[in-house]
Amino acid sequence: MFIFEAIYRFTVYFSRKSSKTADETEFSDTFYNIGAHVLIYSIGYYLFQLGNPLIENIPFGFFVLMCILAIMTTVISYTFLTTAFYIMGEIKSLQQAIRFFKESNNWLDLGKTAFTNGLLLLLLEEQRWEMVVGLFILNYLVSRSFQSKSQSIQNKIERDKFEQMAYTDFLTGIPNRAYMDKKMFELNHTGEKVGIVVADIDKFKLINDSYNHAVGDRVIQHFAHTLKSYLSEDDYVFRSGGEEFTLILRNKSFSQSIDFVEQIRLGVEKSSVEVDYQSEKHAVSITSSFGLYYFKVNQYISMEKGYIFADQLLLQSKNLGKNKVTFKDELSRQTG
């Protein structure tokens, strides 16, 4: 057992050193793992000698005993660890010790340990040394494969997390301008009919000047939530800058797009947002202006150009008195 653990643990140690994934205490931990596992498995072996006569006539009794011993040795092992952590002050209560045990164990790992240790014991008793070496290699390969897959999954989770952070506006929680550019690039190759809407909060500077920037931020959050609440699964909304937001409407006709944006405009107009200002609650009402450009994506009109046209239509809404929807259908040349 000592030879097996020494070879296995040092193989893991040198593997981690070569891949530069070893911890600072990896070398001392290797000796601890060798000694601890040899001690625990020795206890398990003597318990096996005591329990083996009792299960000889039970079907699959050998592996049932192995499972029981795996659980018992795991409890003993974590009792030692918990005691050590308690002495060092890292575990201070029984609840922490129980949580440490639950979070550190997996029933599949216990099953693997029971099965491999049972096979190892049988092979050692029968002195089948080639099979012992084969079991050692198999155990190593399975462990390394699991570690590799776990690391790969962890890397993907971290990449997805950082990507989400890079593409999310921190104030509103909706996608930002970078994600809008990414989606526009993707939609450039679809050839579908879309409506690009650029929306803006009317007289937003006056809100900041009348109250403060914290109130202004709350108004932006409310506006973003209102826009998002109207969208279907195929649509997109982005914070494209300041109090300006961009919507991409898909799978809608031109008339449906107009009705949809008008519905949003009325919803914004009828709603209000409650804010804290000078230790008092205030209800702030807002209106918004919209520019809708409806077209078919092609080599002549890209999503980026469509956005520019929609932004120009927004300016027309502002110049016409705000709280309006100005639109243009590139397919029928209809404007309004």
Residue where a domain terminates, one of 94, 129, 159: 159
Residues 80 and 9 in one domain: yes
In a domain, 59, yes or no: yes
Residue where a domain terminates, one of 159, 191, 222: 159
Residues 67 and 31 in one domain: yes
Question: What is the extent of the structural domain holding 308?
Answer: 177-335
Residues 190 and 155 in one domain: no
Q: Average per-residue pLDDT in the chain?
A: 83
Residues 27 and 102 in one domain: yes
In a domain, 45, yes or no: yes
| Residue 278 Ramachandran class (φ > 0 left, ψ -120 to 50 alpha, else beta) | left
Residues 152 and 274 in one domain: no
Residues 131 and 272 in one domain: no
In a domain, 172, yes or no: no
- What tokens appear for 277 in the block? 């200002």
Question: What is residue 106's predicted lDDT score, i.e. its pLDDT?
Answer: 61
- Residue 196's DSSP bridge partners are 248, 293
In a domain, 171, yes or no: no
What backbone phi and psi angles, to 5 degrees, belong to 302? -85, 170
**Angle, CA 67 vertex, CA 66 and CA 70 arms, to 5°:** 85
Question: What is residue 117's predicted lDDT score, i.e. its pLDDT?
Answer: 66
Residue 112 pLDDT > 80, yes or no? no
Contacts of 9 (CB under 8 A, 6+ apart): 30, 33, 34, 37
Give the Cα separation of 37 and 12 in Å (integer). Answer: 15
Residues 118 and 79 in one domain: yes
In this prediction, what percent of the chain has a pLDDT beyond 90? Answer: 41
Residue 266 pLDDT > 90, yes or no? yes
Residue where a domain terminates, one of 159, 187, 211: 159
DSSP-derived secondary structure for 162-207: HHHHHTB-TTTSSB-HHHHHHHHHHHTTT--EEEEEEEEETTHHHH
Kindly indicate the confidence band of residue 180, based on its pLDDT and cuts at 50, 70 and 90: very high
Residue 114 pLDDT > 70, yes or no? no
Domain count, the chain: 2
Contact, 82 vs 92, CB < 8 A?
no
Question: What is residue 52's predicted lDDT score, i.e. its pLDDT?
Answer: 76
* Residues 115-168: tens digit of each pLDDT: 666 667 667 777 777 777 776 676 666 666 656 666 676 777 777 777 778 899
In a domain, 169, yes or no: no
In a domain, 166, yes or no: no
Residue 218 pLDDT > 90, yes or no? yes
In a domain, 214, yes or no: yes
Question: What is residue 107's predicted lDDT score, i.e. its pLDDT?
Answer: 57
Residue 187 pLDDT > 70, yes or no? yes
Residue 194 pLDDT > 60, yes or no? yes
Residues 153 and 188 in one domain: no
Residues 231 and 135 in one domain: no
Region 105-111: mean pLDDT is 60
Residues 155 and 182 in one domain: no
Give the Cα separation of 231 and 248 in Å (integer). Answer: 9
- CATH number, domain containing residue 204: 3.30.70.270
* pTM for the predicted model, two decimal places: 0.58
